[in-house]
Structure 1
Amino acid sequence: MTDPRELVSLLETLCPMFLLVDQNGCIQQAGPTLQKLRPDLQLVGQGFLDVFELIRPRTVTTIPALMSMARAKLHLKFHDEPRTALKGLVAPLPHSGGAVINLSFGISILDAVRDYALTSADFSGTDLAIELLYLVEAKSAAMEASRSLNLRLQGAMLAAEEQAYTDTLTGLKNRRAMDHVLAHMISANSAFALMHLDLDFFKSVNDRLGHAAGDFVLQQAARIMLEETRDNDTVARVGGDEFVIVFKGLTREDTLEAIAGRLIQRLNEPMLFQNQKCSVSASIGTALSTQFQVLKAADILHAADLALYQAKRDGRSCHRLYSTLTNARP
């Protein structure tokens, strides 16, 4: 006959969630993992049915009935919290009248690992639960890696979209962005004003001081336009020294005249680049979306161009409204 101590050692190795009970259902030995589930309760000496509630088979309510359940699967839970669900198998010991009851978590293993901080050391080395834990861990790691990759891809996509709509020299919107804004406002039937601004004498700055000075002037002009407009307005560089400002919801001509006046005044002030004065001015033409019965982007852009050309013909460094032109056709 196997020495009882050898039997217990064998069971601890192969079945770390075993219970050794006597013929009266009193727990004689408990596997280390099972004891870990109830660290404050000494399982040895407790009655099996005092610790566990049998869920199935429902007909088993006594120890003799339990002992007769050889090879039948048991479904049980702890009486106290947390009421972890367990599965069991009874193996009677022929000479002692007792039995070995081997327990497992079944599909509750993930909850158990979380609730009791179990590790691979708490299971038999051949237990398929270990494989499941590794698969879950691998899946979690893969999902986390996937989420991280998706976030990076989204960030890269947003950065690429932002770059596609941005003028790299000035940081303003570009023509593509302006076209997108105009299409959106027109489709939404929003009222707006479109201001076309051209820097006068910019070519002479480039010719006299070089392209670095010209780039500096464009950057300073962009800064001034941003400072004189609102956050929900769109300032775009649409050509070498040409800019378009779209004023959302603003169609008051007196207000637009005042904004254009401030822009002209500030852009007329000489800019210093490496101790050299860079002198430009600004000619501006403005058209209103409300001047058109059927509005198209090309039409309002053309109207603002006509007003701009009139400002240049009138001596530059001034602002003209399309509505004041004698050949205006709203």
Structure 2
Amino acid sequence: MMTEDLTGILERFCPMYVLLDDGGRILNVGPTLQKLRPRHAMPGQGFLDLFELLRPRSVTTIPALMGATDAKLRLRFRDEPQTSLKGAIARLPQGRGAVVNLSFGISILDAVRDYALTSADFSATDLAIELLYLVEAKSAAMEASRSLNLRLQGARIAAEEQAFTDMLTGLKNRRAMDQVLSQLISMQMPFALMHLDLDFFKSVNDRFGHAAGDHVLQQAARIMGEETRGTDFVARIGGDEFVLIFRGLEDKIQLNKLARRLIERLQEPVPYGGQTCRISASIGTALTSQFPRPAAAEILNAADLALYAAKRAGRGEHRFFSRCDEGDGCVAEIGRFG
């Protein structure tokens, strides 16, 4: 049989074969085995220069290798990655060398992970193909699962964000406010809470329509975002009602200046559709330091009382919540400091 005929048969049925001459020099290798070292041609190299023989331990020379036809060979590449292989050797007749068959000798995990081998790299009769199908199916299933998990995680995050967001203004909503208040109180962090209500907003809706009202709300939300810090919290909790929470800030002078800036900016005319919309704002502020054991409902109620005191004062005003020492109930302290 000519060598060309032999290599054709070997490539079809043993795609990880090594054809050796009688001196242990590599004459040819299977296409799959060559894939493991695509940048280095194996033919012409000495077999024991390319591979380190691990078993049998007694085989250290080419003559000993040629005589190990009844032994199972365990070997590995000498260079990186040092992939381990298993095989068997068969002598060719008339001293024409030998064939080392490694087709069953590579770990399926190594074949896929390190060399990206597929079922096309093995003989159709190899049991390795069945294992490769399983590995490929598992990899595809894991990738599909990972992709699905990422989509589900993204959808969950989006749903949670939507659940805590006012869709018209992009501000947080009442549910988010309740959560933030609960966290701040449980952490015993001092804060100030402003309850802001837009004055004359109903007349904008009545005169110019709800689209104009929506535009005014969006502009008001933008102003509140511009006048607050990144650590502050702004929420729309009703039609034209907003709550602002200032972490770690209870200085009345600073808070009053902030409230006055908000009122002044919200009084600026808002153009819409060739018309001019005019609103104002009333604000009531409560501080956690005013309560021995602050509770969310108590702070919100106090800010609400201060807000309505601001409205009774003529609107476009700011009031701080205050307690009376005489037992006559609660009043609001005029918000003019400094």
TM-score (normalised: structure 2): 0.84
The equivalent residue for 1:157 is: 156
Q: Cα distance 1:40–1:232, how it changes in 2: closer, same or farther (>3 A)?
A: closer
Task: Note if 1:210 corresponds to 2:209.
Answer: yes
Deviations 1:44-76 (A, max 9, x none): 5x5543443210111223445434433421101
The structural deviation recorded for 1:228 is 1.8
8 Å contact from structure 2 (residues 282, 318) kept in 1? yes
Q: How does 1:121-136 map to 2 (within 5 A)?
A: 121-136=120-135
Matches within 5 A, 1:10-89: 10-21=9-20, 25=24, 27=26, 30-35=29-34, 37=36, 40-41=40-41, 43=43, 47-89=46-88
Q: CA deviation digits over 1:304-324, x for unaligned, max 9?
A: 111112112222221111137
How far apart are the structure 1 equivalents of 2:324 and 2:214?
33
How much does 1:261 deviate?
Answer: 1.1
- Indicate the SS of the match to 2:294: coil
| Secondary structure class of the residue paired with 1:43 | coil
Aligned to 1:144: 143
| Mapped pair 1:189 → 2:159 | no
Query: Any conservation in 2 of the 1:73–1:88 contact (CA below 8 Å)?
Result: yes
What is the aligned-residue identity percentage?
68
Which residue of structure 1 aligns with residue 172 of structure 2?
Answer: 173
Aligned Cα RMSD in Å?
2.9
The one-letter code matched in structure 2 to 1:135 is L
Give how far 1:290 is off.
1.0
1:10 deviation in Å? 2.3
Distance 1:280 1:325, change over 3 A: farther
Q: 1:115 to 1:225 in 2, by over 3 A?
A: closer
1:314 partnered with 2:313: yes
The answer to whether the 8 A contact 1:105-1:112 is kept is no
The CA deviation at 1:87 is: 1.0
The aligned residue for residue 287 of structure 1 is 286
Contact 1:165 1:173 in 2 (8 A): yes
Question: 8 Å contact 2:119–2:133 — kept in the other structure?
Answer: no
| Mean Cα deviation higher: 312-321 or 249-258 | 312-321
Contact 1:35-1:43 within 8 A present in 2 as well: no
> Does the Cα contact within 8 Å between 2:26 and 2:42 map onto a contact in 1?
no
* In the alignment, structure 1 residue 275 sits paired with structure 2 residue 274: yes
Does residue 1:220 correspond to 2:219, yes or no? yes
Partners of 1:215 and 1:113 in 2: CA distance: 58
Q: Distance in 1 between matches of 2:129 and 2:145?
A: 24
Equivalent-residue separation in structure 1 for 2:18 and 2:253 (angstroms)? 91
> Displacement of 1:180 after TM fit?
0.9
Amino acid in structure 1 at the alignment position of 2:223 = I
Q: CA deviation at 1:170?
A: 1.8
Asked if 1 retains the 8 angstrom alpha-carbon contact of 2:103 and 2:122, the reply is no
Shift of the alpha carbon at 1:202? 2.2
Q: Structure 1 residues 99 and 187, CA, compared in 2 at 3 Å: closer, same or farther? A: same
User: For this pair of structures, how many residues does the alignment match?
Assistant: 327
| Deviations 1:190-249 (CA, angstroms, capped at 9, x unpaired) | 111011111222223323333233223222222222222222211111122211111111
Aligned with 1:136: secondary structure? helix
Change (3 A) 1:3 1:216: closer
CA distance in 2 between counterparts of 1:212 and 1:110 reads: 62
CA contact (8 A) 1:268 1:282 kept: yes
One-letter code of the match for 2:43? L
CA contact (8 A) 1:60 1:66 kept: yes
Structure 1 pair 149–29 and aligned structure 2 pair: CA distance change class (3 A): closer
- Report deviation, 1:102: 1.2
Matched residue type, 2:146: R
Query: 1:77 is paired with a residue of what secondary structure?
Result: strand
